[in-house]
Structure 1
Amino acid sequence: MKESDNIFAKPLEKVPDFVFNEDVVNVFPDMIKRSVPGYPTIVENIGVIAAQYAQPNSLVYDLGCSLGAVTQALRRHIKQPNCQILAVDNSAPMVKRCQEYLTAQDAMYQELTPTQVVEADIITMPWQRASVVTMNFTLQFISPEQRLAVLTAIHQHLDPQGVLLLSEKLRFDDEKEQQTLNELHLAFKRANGYSELEIAQKRTAIENVMKIDTFAIHQERLLKAGFSKVTLWFQCLNFASMIALP
């Protein structure tokens, strides 16, 4: 039975920095559903888009796989022969639960793309050649100083016919646009049952660990990393997903 997210429901004397620990893992599906507008659409269509770029006999990365929602979509949609998915996360509780969910998916579907789940830090892990790389709300948790290096490494190991699918929360240079979309996102959270206390404490917990960029910064950085074209394929309020081509 999936648990409801009430991590920040009670007043905390000191709000700790947000970490993907066992408590978060237990409520993560509910947390994402109630916090990220458009999330189910992003996840399902990452699988659809990835299937258009996956090459036979190739590796597919899901970086920052968390509980494996994107990995499951990739497994359902990619039909190329001899593909393998490598799902990577640096949270041991996430990796353990992700593997459990994929095992359950195996029992429901036949002929899914073979998948390995590994605990690793994408900053330091060794890279392999890949035709598809997905980063679904992952880059924003990497320090800004390290983001270009990660994207450059991805580009260097990406098949010329492949794709990087990058989803991120966005900020906006225009002050009024930023205020409007931020307020609408807060309204989305309230509509999904979060209290003002929960919203405030979650904001405090995450402000030091999640640094968000504008689309223009993402685009400039991806081009600097070697990608030739960056397309915004989806946006819902201040959450977006991009296609980056080698």
Structure 2
Amino acid sequence: MNAPESHQNFPKERNRSRDSVYAAPREKIGDFVFDETVADVFPDMIQRSVPGYDTITSLIGVLAGRYAQPNSTCYDLGCSLGAATLSMRRRLHQPGCRIVAVDNSEAMIRRCRQNIDADASAPPVDILCTDILDVKIRNASVVVLNFILQFIHPEQRLQALSNIYQGLLPGGILILSEKIRFSDLKQQTFHTEMHYAFKKDNGYSDLEISQKRAALEKVLIPETLTEHRERLLAAGFARCDVWF
């Protein structure tokens, strides 16, 4: 599953910065980080890089509206600029609900606060700048990991999911969106080529695609659907359904 920050969730001026982070040749490609430069162009970057993100973000709100319980907490772990938070906020109608949005990037959190403050929806939002692994999940009816688990070291992913499971109320849900890989080489090659074609169709050059791929190589580590299922069940979840 691939997915972009819905432009309707952000003030218009934030949508005008075009992503050119990897447009110039670099002698050395460092690891990708969510710094000030990336935060400034993130809506454009995600829109042009991740197919289906608008739809996924919207459906996260629909799912939250359905499964949120009265007097409970909804978590957006790895909230970036707050797209999933806003999508949930606009669809939560249960009394006493609150949202906790968490990200470890100060640059992202600053912009997230601006976007939340500009929104007039009702449920309160607590915004935390910290590592999601350090967040104790409590009284949760909905937890969102929207393209975030793939950035957590594989050895820490079970810990992260177990922490979420232990903090979920009966009937609560985890909404997990991830880029996945395929064990079949031909299938993987096909999807990789289609993803690059998508980026090129959105104006990225071969140089930009190549340099960003190198930057993400050791940072974004995708897994197969089978690996995700097995880990979710090991963390305690009763079932794991593909929702999109």
TM-score range, shorter chain: over 0.9
Range with greater deviation from structure 2 (197-206 or 119-128): 119-128
The answer to whether structure 1 residue 93 and structure 2 residue 107 are counterparts is yes
Question: What residue number does 2:163 align with?
Answer: 153
Residue type of the partner of 2:29?
A: V
RMSD (Å) for aligned C-alpha atoms: 0.8
Once the two structures are superposed, residues 179-216 of structure 1 have per-residue CA deviations (whole angstroms, 9 ceiling, x without a partner) of 11111111000000000000000001011111110111
Distance in structure 2 (CA, Å) of the matches to 1:136 and 1:166: 6
Q: Which of 185, 189, 192 is 1:175 aligned to?
A: 185
Q: Which of 16, 20, 29 is 1:6 aligned to?
A: 20
Distance in structure 1 (CA, Å) of the matches to 2:84 and 2:74: 11
Distance in structure 1 (CA, Å) of the matches to 2:189 and 2:27: 28
Shift of 1:129: 2.0
The answer to whether structure 1 residue 48 and structure 2 residue 62 are counterparts is yes
Residue type of the partner of 1:208?
A: K
2:136, 2:163 within 8 Å by CA — same for their partners in 1? no
TM-score normalised by structure 1 residue count: 0.92
Question: What residue number does 2:53 align with?
Answer: 39
The answer to whether structure 1 residue 137 and structure 2 residue 151 are counterparts is no
TM-score normalised by structure 2 residue count: 0.93
Shift of 1:218: 0.4
Distance in structure 1 (CA, Å) of the matches to 2:139 and 2:221: 28
Q: Secondary structure at the match of 1:131?
A: strand
Question: What residue number does 1:84 align with?
Answer: 98
Residue type of the partner of 1:148?
A: L
Residue type of the partner of 2:89?
A: R
Question: What residue number does 2:116 align with?
Answer: 102
Q: Secondary structure at the match of 1:4?
A: coil
Residue type of the partner of 1:42?
A: I
Alignment of 1:180-191 (within 5 A): 180-191=190-201
Q: Secondary structure at the match of 1:16?
A: coil
Residue type of the partner of 2:194?
A: L
Higher strand share: 1
Query: What is the number of residues matched between the two proteins?
Result: 230
Distance in structure 2 (CA, Å) of the matches to 1:15 and 1:213: 23
Q: Which of 232, 235, 238 is 1:225 aligned to?
A: 235
Question: What residue number does 2:219 align with?
Answer: 209
Once the two structures are superposed, residues 217-246 of structure 1 have per-residue CA deviations (whole angstroms, 9 ceiling, x without a partner) of 001100000001111111xxxxxxxxxxxx
Distance in structure 1 (CA, Å) of the matches to 2:29 and 2:160: 30
Distance in structure 1 (CA, Å) of the matches to 2:175 and 2:197: 28
Residue type of the partner of 1:4?
A: R
Once the two structures are superposed, residues 108-129 of structure 1 have per-residue CA deviations (whole angstroms, 9 ceiling, x without a partner) of xxx4211111101111233322
Distance in structure 1 (CA, Å) of the matches to 2:50 and 2:92: 25
Residue type of the partner of 1:120?
A: T
Once the two structures are superposed, residues 140-166 of structure 1 have per-residue CA deviations (whole angstroms, 9 ceiling, x without a partner) of 000000000110110011011110000
Distance in structure 1 (CA, Å) of the matches to 2:191 and 2:214: 19
Shift of 1:176: 0.9
Distance in structure 2 (CA, Å) of the matches to 1:88 and 1:194: 30
Q: Secondary structure at the match of 1:162?
A: strand
Shift of 1:32: 0.3
Question: What residue number does 1:65 align with?
Answer: 79
Shift of 1:51: 1.0
Residue type of the partner of 1:209?
A: V
Distance in structure 2 (CA, Å) of the matches to 1:113 and 1:190: 39
2:32, 2:219 within 8 Å by CA — same for their partners in 1? yes
